[in-house]
Structure 1
Amino acid sequence: MKRHDLMQKLGQEKLVAVIRGSNEEEVMQIVDAVQKGGIHLLEITFTIPRAQEIIAKLAEKYADDGEVVIGAGTVLDVTTARLAISAGAKFVVSPHFDKEIMKLCNSYGIPVFPGATTVKDMLECLRYGAEVIKLFPGDTFGPTAIKSFKGPLPQAEFMPTGGVSIDNLSDWLDNGAFAVGTGSSLTKGAKTGDFAQVTKEAARFVEAVRAYDKK
């Protein structure tokens, strides 16, 4: 999927599932459950052991799938970014701004969503070509922060992650979020092995976005 198409898909679907897990088997089950519920943009975090191997397997599994997009999250340095891209990640998410990560991803045409919490850092993200800025942790700031940041930076697009739930999703979108990242609220059922619950929660998020778009 080309960069433009991925960004268009993100803007339409508005949901990125942040996937964490203790091992490959659990991650694969979570991914299965989430995509069955209708969330197609999946961020596999590098907090997972051997994350690059899991990304590679998922990239191969969904290579011919026109809907599911595998990305990499918690990318802390340019070495990890290179591993993610080599494994087949179609987008990269960082909790911070790193110009070397930005330059590498731009060189390969891979969308990168760097984290920032100040106007100064957000401006640096924009200067290095960030199409979406990750606002993390979202629950520290609250939905109205996006509207405030868009005051001096109306051209910036934001993806809050951390504390995003069904209950506050519409508040984030009302305040100008381009998309949201959701992790623990979405995948909490996996902690008890209830992957059917993960699928149900994913479907609830998808339905909430559809209902919002119809308003």
Structure 2
Amino acid sequence: MDKVTVLETMRQIGLVPVLRADSVDKAMALAEAVADGGVTVLEVTMTVPGAIEVMRRLAQQRPDILVGAGTVLDPETARMCILEGAQFVVSPALNLKTIEMCHRYSIAVLPGALTPTEIVTAWQAGADVVKVFPASAMGGAKYLKAVKAPLPQVELIPTGGVSVATAHEFLEAGAFALGVGGDLVDHKAMNEGRAHVVTETARKYLEIVKEYRAKKA
């Protein structure tokens, strides 16, 4: 899938679940539960033990899922993830060399930034989308809306503080898509054998995105 298609898929789904788990098998089970709810975009963080293996297996076994690498802090890690099948690269911070590496492979790159200066620096360096993290620490959707006012051309994905309760507010503020963590990736439910809880939450998020777009159309 080329970079333009990757970004358009991300925009259409409207959601980028941040997948964290303490084993490869648990990560795979979470990925399946999220995908069963119709969310076919996943960010596998490098904090997952065996994260590369998870990306490799998803790329091979679930070609319908758009798999990205998360918590990528340097260009070497970015390259390793890309070679194993990652189709986009996300970071909680801004590393210019990582952006350069992703450009070399024509892979979508979403570096993290928080202040307006950091966001503009990331955008000017070639970020396809800027991850605003941690969004909740700066006031959530109100902060995103304030940043988008002078920077409407910059695509932003808020992460941190996004939930079913706040999703519509973030979309209204101008989010390109929503970075969702613990509110969707429910480890307690998974450990209790209730994968359907994660699947149902994924469906709720998709419905929120659908309703928002229908209203804006």
Q: Give the Cα separation in 1 of the matches to 2:213 and 2:148.
A: 21
Q: Give the Cα separation in 1 of the matches to 2:42 and 2:27.
A: 11
Which residue is 2:76 aligned to?
A: 79
Which residue is 1:211 aligned to?
A: 211
Q: Give, in angstroms, the shift of residue 193 of structure 1.
A: 3.3
Q: Give the Cα separation in 1 of the matches to 2:192 and 2:71.
A: 24
Which residue is 2:163 aligned to?
A: 165
Runs ≥4 in structure 1, deviation > 6 angstroms? Answer: none
Pairing 1:85-104 to 2, within 5 Å after superposition? 85-104=82-101
User: What do the CA deviations read for 1:159-205 (whole angstroms, capped 9, x no partner)?
Assistant: 01111111111100111111111110002122433211111111111
Give, as a single letter, the amino acid of the residue that structure 1 aligns with 2:37.
G
Which residue is 2:129 aligned to?
A: 132
Asked whether the equivalents of residues 15 and 179 of structure 2 are also in contact (C-alpha less than 8 Å), the reply is: yes
Which residue is 1:9 aligned to?
A: 9
User: What do the CA deviations read for 1:64-119 (whole angstroms, capped 9, x no partner)?
Assistant: x3xx2011101111121111111110000000110000000011010010000112
User: What do the CA deviations read for 1:20-71 (whole angstroms, capped 9, x no partner)?
Assistant: 00001110100000000011110000000121111111111123x3xx2011
Which residue is 1:30 aligned to?
A: 30
Asked whether the equivalents of residues 55 and 85 of structure 2 are also in contact (C-alpha less than 8 Å), the reply is: yes
Asked whether the equivalents of residues 70 and 91 of structure 2 are also in contact (C-alpha less than 8 Å), the reply is: yes
Which residue is 1:178 aligned to?
A: 176
- Give the TM-score, by structure 2 length: 0.94
Q: Give the Cα separation in 2 of the matches to 1:193 and 1:137.
A: 30
Give, as a single letter, the amino acid of the residue that structure 1 aligns with 2:100.
K
Give, as a single letter, the amino acid of the residue that structure 1 aligns with 2:56.
A
1:121 equivalenced with 2:122 (yes/no): no
- Unaligned 5+ segments in structure 2 are none
Number of residues of Structure 1 aligned to a counterpart in Structure 2: 212
SS at match of 1:211: helix
Q: 1:191 to 1:159 in 2, by over 3 A?
A: farther
1:201 equivalenced with 2:198 (yes/no): no
SS at match of 1:185: coil
- Give the TM-score, by structure 1 length: 0.95
User: What do the CA deviations read for 1:113-150 (whole angstroms, capped 9, x no partner)?
Assistant: 00001122111111121121101112112101112112
CA RMSD of the aligned region, Å? Answer: 1.1
Give, as a single letter, the amino acid of the residue that structure 1 aligns with 2:93.
H
Q: Give the Cα separation in 2 of the matches to 1:90 and 1:134.
A: 16
Tell me the percent identity: 39
Which residue is 2:56 aligned to?
A: 56
Give, as a single letter, the amino acid of the residue that structure 1 aligns with 2:110.
F
Give, as a single letter, the amino acid of the residue that structure 1 aligns with 2:66.
V
SS at match of 1:131: coil
- Unaligned 5+ segments in structure 1 are none
Q: Give the Cα separation in 1 of the matches to 2:192 and 2:161.
A: 20
34-43 or 118-127: bigger deviation: 118-127
Q: Give the Cα separation in 1 of the matches to 2:94 and 2:180.
A: 20
